[in-house]
Structure 1
Amino acid sequence: MRLFGYARVSTSQQSLDVQVKALKAEGVRANRIFTDKVTGSHVNREGLRLLRLKVEEGDVILVKKLDLLGRDTADMIQLIKEFDEMGVAIRFLDDGISTEGTMGKMVVTILSAVAQAERQRILERTNEGRVEAKAKGVKFGRKRTIDRRRVKELREEGVGATDIAKQMGIGRSTVYKLLR
């Protein structure tokens, strides 16, 4: 039995250090730790792809937390099934669960479904909050940098769109949009 590790963070600004240290503390050799700095919402990840190529029957993959392997329940089930067919088990350190045995597979499947449902609820709450904020007049997005009033003043003074664009440092099409 060989131990392998998998660590993932969602963005390149996040650090893998905590996960890698935990995997090493469990006895995973550094050259057997595979990492990704990309969202877990899909399984097309380079580190995961390499891990799939390296593991063999009897190996165990250690992952710090369940949601680091994948975010989507269908993808998680497919990954677990794929590794199971290869004779490879997955252990989730923080969650204290493993795909070893029938009960382990069932628990992992249920937990990944619950995690996906929670993410959906978070998105719904975020969107509800955004709608409510808009209704209260909160502006989203980048602040406007073009002085719309000045564009209109220049037009009223008889300045043409091309000259307005040059004076304001914007495109002529932008001038036409602002004057609508």
Structure 2
Amino acid sequence: MRLFGYARVSTSQQSLDIQIKALKIAGVRKNRIFTDKTTGGSGGDRQGLELLKVKVEKDDVVIVTKLDRLGRDTADMITLIKEFDSLGVAIRFLDDGISTEGTMGKMVVTILSAVAEAERTRILERTNEGRIEAKAKGVKFGRKRSINRDRVINLNAQGVGATAISQQLKIGRSTVYKILGEA
């Protein structure tokens, strides 16, 4: 039995260090830890996971820190569990203290992945509700405007054309048209 590890973060700005450290403490050798920096929900390329599937053999164990680090959603989690199971490979989740070893383990993982997916959905709903409420209160989202819109409008009112405005202010002509259209 060999131990393998899998770690994933959602963005390239996040760090894998905590997950990798936990995998090493669990006994996984550094050269058997596979990683991805991509969102679980995007359907993005997960080369680390694909390479892991190629490397494991019957009776190996894949260790992952948390359920949501492996599968995108319940269906994806079940598919991955079945795929690893067909290879004779078990999956252990450190933080959740569960494993796919045995029938009960597979059932528990399936139920917990459904709960995790429901929790993610609730978090998104609450975030969106908060965003809607903030917009209603006048909170502006996005980066601050860097173009002096009044200057664009004043130059146009003075008879300066869009091409000349874009050259003078070093902005795109389409930006000039957009500002004038909004005015």
Query: How far did 1:13 drift?
Result: 2.4
What does residue 29 of structure 1 align with?
29
For residues 25-62 of structure 1, what are the alpha-carbon distances to aligned partners after superposition, in whole Å with 9 as ceiling and x for unaligned? 22222221111122222474111111101111111111
Contact 1:97/1:108 (<8 A) preserved: yes
What does residue 87 of structure 1 align with?
88
Identify if the C-alpha distance between structure 1 residues 174 and 104 changes in structure 2 by more than 3 Å, giving closer, same or farther: same
For the pair 1:14 / 2:14, whether they are aligned, the reply is yes
Q: Which stretch has the larger CA shift, 78-87 or 33-42?
A: 33-42
What does residue 103 of structure 2 align with?
102
What does residue 59 of structure 2 align with?
58
For the pair 1:71 / 2:62, whether they are aligned, the reply is no
Query: How far did 1:87 drift?
Result: 1.0
Identify if the C-alpha distance between structure 1 residues 102 and 44 changes in structure 2 by more than 3 Å, giving closer, same or farther: farther
CA–CA distance in structure 2, aligned partners of residues 96 and 118 of structure 1: 19
What does residue 5 of structure 2 align with?
5
Amino acid at match of 2:28: V
What does residue 115 of structure 2 align with?
114
Identify if the C-alpha distance between structure 1 residues 34 and 172 changes in structure 2 by more than 3 Å, giving closer, same or farther: closer
Amino acid at match of 1:55: V
Amino acid at match of 1:96: G
Contact 2:60/2:89 (<8 A) preserved: yes
Contact 2:38/2:45 (<8 A) preserved: no
Scaled by the length of structure 2, the TM-score of the pair is: 0.90
Contact 2:12/2:38 (<8 A) preserved: yes
CA–CA distance in structure 2, aligned partners of residues 13 and 173 of structure 1: 32
Q: Which runs of 5+ in 2 are unaligned?
A: none
Amino acid at match of 1:24: K
- The percent identity for this pair of structures is 77
Scaled by the length of structure 1, the TM-score of the pair is: 0.92
Identify if the C-alpha distance between structure 1 residues 161 and 21 changes in structure 2 by more than 3 Å, giving closer, same or farther: closer
What does residue 148 of structure 1 align with?
149
Q: Which stretch has the larger CA shift, 45-54 or 6-15?
A: 6-15
Contact 2:4/2:63 (<8 A) preserved: yes
Amino acid at match of 1:33: I
Alpha-carbon RMSD across the aligned residues, in angstroms, is 1.6
